[in-house]
Amino acid sequence: MRKSMFKEPKPVLVFNGARVLIGILRSLHAAANFSGGNLQAISFSCTGKYISTGGYYFRHISPEIEIEINDIDNLNLIDYDNMCSEKRKYHSVRDMARRRSIVENKRKSKNNTEGETDETDI
């Protein structure tokens, strides 16, 4: 069997602005589809170069830590980072809510401008 030149996808944890686990996704691509965000920004958020992106916190699943479905809505981001022995910075909950609303407003305005038709087109 030929060895693939692509790396295996790494599962990604998604935490909301309140730092609570809201999803376990299969890969960075799935995270980009979920959030509508930039793939590279999500990767940077997972590795620690960015604090967050698109109003969410993202982390790769550590091989030393077992994550289960029961952890959704129960696992806290700060607790997860402590279990991974990582020291990271966090935005305030208020700031994350503002960031999330900005992203949603941009997405809504983009969808509205794409959906509008000019009267000359009819």
pLDDT digits (tens, 9 = 90+) for 69-91: 999 999 999 999 999 999 999 99
61: left (phi > 0), else alpha (psi -120 to 50), else beta?
beta
Give domain status of residue 122, yes or no: no
SS3 content of the chain, % helix, strand, coil (to 5): 45, 15, 45
As a whole number of angstroms, the distance between CA 30 and CA 36 comes to 10
Res 31: pLDDT: 94
Give domain status of residue 110, yes or no: yes
As a whole number of angstroms, the distance between CA 75 and CA 50 comes to 21
* Helix or strand holding residue 75 (H, E): none
Give domain status of residue 6, yes or no: no
Q: Quick one: average pLDDT of 22-31? A: 94
Give domain status of residue 5, yes or no: no
Give domain status of residue 1, yes or no: no
Residue-by-residue DSSP string for 81-111: HHHTT-------HHHHHHHHHHHHHHHHHHH
Look at the chain and report how many structural domains it folds into: 1
Give domain status of residue 27, yes or no: yes
Closest alpha carbon to 103 in 46, 29, 38, 12: 38
Give tens-digit pLDDT for 59-71.
Answer: 999 989 999 999 9
Res 76: pLDDT: 95
Q: Which two tokens stand for residue 116?
A: 């509008």
Domain span holding position 110: 12-115
Specify the 3-state DSSP secondary structure of 119. helix
| 34 or 111: which leads in pLDDT | 34
Give domain status of residue 120, yes or no: no
Give domain status of residue 61, yes or no: yes
